[in-house]
Structure 1
Amino acid sequence: MNQKEKEQYILDNYKKDENTMILVFSQWCVNNDLDPRELYKQAYPDQGKNQQLGEAFELTIPKNESDEIPVQTVLDVLQLFENDHLAFVVAEEYEKKLKE
Protein backbone atom coordinates (compact mmCIF):
# COMPACT_ATOMS: atom_id res chain seq x y z
CA MET A 1 0.00 0.00 0.00
CA ASN A 2 1.54 3.30 -1.05
CA GLN A 3 1.25 6.58 0.85
CA LYS A 4 -1.71 7.85 -1.17
CA GLU A 5 -3.62 4.59 -0.59
CA LYS A 6 -2.87 4.75 3.15
CA GLU A 7 -4.15 8.31 3.33
CA GLN A 8 -7.32 7.35 1.46
CA TYR A 9 -7.84 4.36 3.75
CA ILE A 10 -7.50 6.55 6.84
CA LEU A 11 -9.85 9.15 5.39
CA ASP A 12 -12.44 6.52 4.44
CA ASN A 13 -12.35 4.99 7.92
CA TYR A 14 -12.71 8.41 9.55
CA LYS A 15 -15.77 9.18 7.42
CA LYS A 16 -17.28 5.79 8.25
CA ASP A 17 -16.71 6.38 11.97
CA GLU A 18 -18.11 9.90 11.70
CA ASN A 19 -21.25 8.54 10.02
CA THR A 20 -21.61 6.03 12.85
CA MET A 21 -21.34 8.87 15.38
CA ILE A 22 -24.06 10.81 13.58
CA LEU A 23 -26.29 7.75 13.45
CA VAL A 24 -25.83 7.07 17.19
CA PHE A 25 -26.73 10.70 17.93
CA SER A 26 -29.76 10.59 15.62
CA GLN A 27 -31.05 7.31 17.05
CA TRP A 28 -30.62 8.59 20.62
CA CYS A 29 -32.68 11.63 19.67
CA VAL A 30 -35.42 9.48 18.15
CA ASN A 31 -35.41 7.24 21.22
CA ASN A 32 -35.90 10.31 23.41
CA ASP A 33 -38.56 12.02 21.25
CA LEU A 34 -36.16 14.74 20.13
CA ASP A 35 -35.44 16.08 16.66
CA PRO A 36 -31.72 15.62 15.91
CA ARG A 37 -31.81 18.41 13.34
CA GLU A 38 -33.19 20.83 15.94
CA LEU A 39 -30.56 19.89 18.51
CA TYR A 40 -27.85 20.27 15.91
CA LYS A 41 -29.23 23.69 15.01
CA GLN A 42 -29.14 24.70 18.69
CA ALA A 43 -25.50 23.63 18.96
CA TYR A 44 -24.38 25.14 15.66
CA PRO A 45 -26.83 27.95 14.79
CA ASP A 46 -24.54 29.49 12.16
CA GLN A 47 -24.19 26.29 10.15
CA GLY A 48 -26.60 25.42 7.43
CA LYS A 49 -28.37 22.17 6.84
CA ASN A 50 -26.18 19.14 7.60
CA GLN A 51 -26.51 16.61 4.79
CA GLN A 52 -24.87 13.79 6.78
CA LEU A 53 -27.33 14.32 9.61
CA GLY A 54 -30.25 14.15 7.22
CA GLU A 55 -28.92 10.94 5.71
CA ALA A 56 -28.35 9.41 9.16
CA PHE A 57 -31.84 10.41 10.27
CA GLU A 58 -33.24 8.45 7.33
CA LEU A 59 -31.47 5.35 8.72
CA THR A 60 -32.95 5.61 12.21
CA ILE A 61 -35.59 3.15 13.31
CA PRO A 62 -38.66 3.71 15.49
CA LYS A 63 -37.77 3.92 19.15
CA ASN A 64 -39.85 0.85 20.00
CA GLU A 65 -37.57 -1.17 17.68
CA SER A 66 -34.31 0.27 18.97
CA ASP A 67 -32.12 -0.74 21.85
CA GLU A 68 -31.56 1.91 24.48
CA ILE A 69 -28.54 4.11 23.89
CA PRO A 70 -27.09 5.46 27.15
CA VAL A 71 -26.62 9.21 27.13
CA GLN A 72 -23.01 8.77 28.25
CA THR A 73 -22.30 6.78 25.09
CA VAL A 74 -23.69 9.60 22.96
CA LEU A 75 -21.70 12.20 24.87
CA ASP A 76 -18.48 10.19 24.61
CA VAL A 77 -18.89 9.63 20.87
CA LEU A 78 -19.71 13.28 20.21
CA GLN A 79 -16.72 14.46 22.22
CA LEU A 80 -14.46 11.96 20.46
CA PHE A 81 -15.25 13.83 17.25
CA GLU A 82 -14.90 17.20 19.00
CA ASN A 83 -18.62 17.99 18.83
CA ASP A 84 -18.48 19.59 22.24
CA HIS A 85 -21.28 22.08 21.54
CA LEU A 86 -23.58 19.29 20.46
CA ALA A 87 -22.60 17.20 23.48
CA PHE A 88 -23.51 20.16 25.69
CA VAL A 89 -26.95 20.46 24.06
CA VAL A 90 -27.51 16.70 24.45
CA ALA A 91 -26.56 16.91 28.13
CA GLU A 92 -28.98 19.81 28.63
CA GLU A 93 -31.83 17.93 26.96
CA TYR A 94 -31.09 14.85 29.01
CA GLU A 95 -31.22 16.90 32.22
CA LYS A 96 -34.59 18.35 31.15
CA LYS A 97 -35.93 14.83 30.57
CA LEU A 98 -34.80 13.75 34.03
CA LYS A 99 -36.78 16.59 35.59
CA GLU A 100 -40.02 15.64 33.77
Structure 2
Amino acid sequence: MAYQLVQLDIQATDNIQCPHCRQQVINWAEEQYVQPCEHTLFIAMDIGFEYITDEFEQTMRRTVDDLHANDDQVSVIAELMAAQYPEFTIYQSDLGIEGYSRYIGFTA
Protein backbone atom coordinates (compact mmCIF):
# COMPACT_ATOMS: atom_id res chain seq x y z
CA MET A 1 0.00 0.00 0.00
CA ALA A 2 1.52 3.31 -1.09
CA TYR A 3 -0.74 5.46 1.04
CA GLN A 4 -1.75 5.80 4.66
CA LEU A 5 -5.27 7.04 5.51
CA VAL A 6 -5.62 9.24 8.59
CA GLN A 7 -9.13 10.13 9.76
CA LEU A 8 -9.16 13.60 11.34
CA ASP A 9 -11.64 14.09 14.16
CA ILE A 10 -12.30 17.76 13.49
CA GLN A 11 -15.16 20.02 12.46
CA ALA A 12 -15.67 20.96 8.81
CA THR A 13 -14.76 24.58 9.63
CA ASP A 14 -11.46 23.74 11.39
CA ASN A 15 -8.17 24.62 9.72
CA ILE A 16 -5.93 21.75 8.57
CA GLN A 17 -2.16 22.02 8.68
CA CYS A 18 0.65 20.20 6.93
CA PRO A 19 2.22 17.56 9.19
CA HIS A 20 5.68 18.53 7.90
CA CYS A 21 5.94 22.34 7.77
CA ARG A 22 2.81 23.17 9.81
CA GLN A 23 1.42 25.56 7.19
CA GLN A 24 -2.37 25.86 7.29
CA VAL A 25 -3.33 24.27 3.95
CA ILE A 26 -7.01 24.80 4.75
CA ASN A 27 -7.20 28.21 6.38
CA TRP A 28 -10.67 29.66 6.82
CA ALA A 29 -9.22 33.06 7.86
CA GLU A 30 -8.04 33.58 4.26
CA GLU A 31 -10.30 34.58 1.36
CA GLN A 32 -8.59 31.87 -0.69
CA TYR A 33 -8.90 29.22 2.05
CA VAL A 34 -6.99 26.57 0.03
CA GLN A 35 -3.32 27.30 0.81
CA PRO A 36 -1.25 24.30 -0.40
CA CYS A 37 2.36 24.03 0.71
CA GLU A 38 5.25 22.25 -1.01
CA HIS A 39 4.21 18.96 0.69
CA THR A 40 0.59 19.07 -0.55
CA LEU A 41 -0.18 16.65 -3.38
CA PHE A 42 -3.93 17.28 -3.61
CA ILE A 43 -6.94 18.78 -1.89
CA ALA A 44 -10.12 17.01 -2.95
CA MET A 45 -13.67 16.39 -1.88
CA ASP A 46 -16.16 13.67 -2.74
CA ILE A 47 -17.55 16.21 -5.21
CA GLY A 48 -14.28 17.10 -6.97
CA PHE A 49 -10.78 18.55 -6.72
CA GLU A 50 -9.75 21.92 -5.34
CA TYR A 51 -6.03 21.45 -5.96
CA ILE A 52 -3.72 18.77 -7.41
CA THR A 53 -0.09 18.68 -8.48
CA ASP A 54 0.73 17.52 -11.99
CA GLU A 55 3.13 15.00 -10.46
CA PHE A 56 0.35 13.31 -8.48
CA GLU A 57 -2.25 13.50 -11.27
CA GLN A 58 0.11 11.63 -13.61
CA THR A 59 0.02 8.64 -11.21
CA MET A 60 -3.79 8.39 -11.27
CA ARG A 61 -5.86 6.07 -13.45
CA ARG A 62 -7.88 8.99 -14.82
CA THR A 63 -7.30 12.71 -15.22
CA VAL A 64 -9.07 15.19 -13.00
CA ASP A 65 -10.94 16.50 -16.06
CA ASP A 66 -12.23 12.97 -16.74
CA LEU A 67 -13.24 12.55 -13.10
CA HIS A 68 -15.11 15.87 -13.08
CA ALA A 69 -16.83 15.02 -16.38
CA ASN A 70 -18.05 11.73 -14.92
CA ASP A 71 -18.49 12.76 -11.30
CA ASP A 72 -21.74 10.84 -10.97
CA GLN A 73 -19.94 7.60 -11.84
CA VAL A 74 -16.68 7.82 -9.86
CA SER A 75 -15.51 7.72 -6.27
CA VAL A 76 -12.84 10.34 -5.62
CA ILE A 77 -11.39 8.46 -2.64
CA ALA A 78 -11.19 5.22 -4.65
CA GLU A 79 -9.32 7.06 -7.41
CA LEU A 80 -6.92 8.60 -4.88
CA MET A 81 -6.26 5.24 -3.22
CA ALA A 82 -5.55 3.64 -6.62
CA ALA A 83 -2.91 6.21 -7.55
CA GLN A 84 0.57 4.84 -8.11
CA TYR A 85 2.37 7.63 -6.25
CA PRO A 86 5.26 6.08 -4.25
CA GLU A 87 4.25 7.06 -0.68
CA PHE A 88 1.72 9.54 0.60
CA THR A 89 -0.69 10.21 3.43
CA ILE A 90 -4.36 11.04 2.93
CA TYR A 91 -5.96 13.13 5.65
CA GLN A 92 -9.74 12.66 5.61
CA SER A 93 -12.05 15.13 7.33
CA ASP A 94 -15.75 15.95 7.41
CA LEU A 95 -16.86 18.28 4.62
CA GLY A 96 -19.88 19.57 6.53
CA ILE A 97 -22.36 17.86 4.21
CA GLU A 98 -23.85 14.58 5.37
CA GLY A 99 -21.82 11.68 4.01
CA TYR A 100 -19.18 13.83 2.25
CA SER A 101 -15.49 14.18 3.08
CA ARG A 102 -12.47 16.31 2.22
CA TYR A 103 -9.19 14.55 1.37
CA ILE A 104 -5.77 16.15 1.58
CA GLY A 105 -2.72 14.30 0.32
CA PHE A 106 0.74 14.98 1.68
CA THR A 107 4.09 13.54 0.70
CA ALA A 108 5.32 10.91 3.15
The structure whose residues are more often helix, as a share, is 1
TM-score exceeds 0.5 = no
The structure whose residues are more often strand, as a share, is 2
Q: TM-score, normalised by structure 2?
A: 0.28
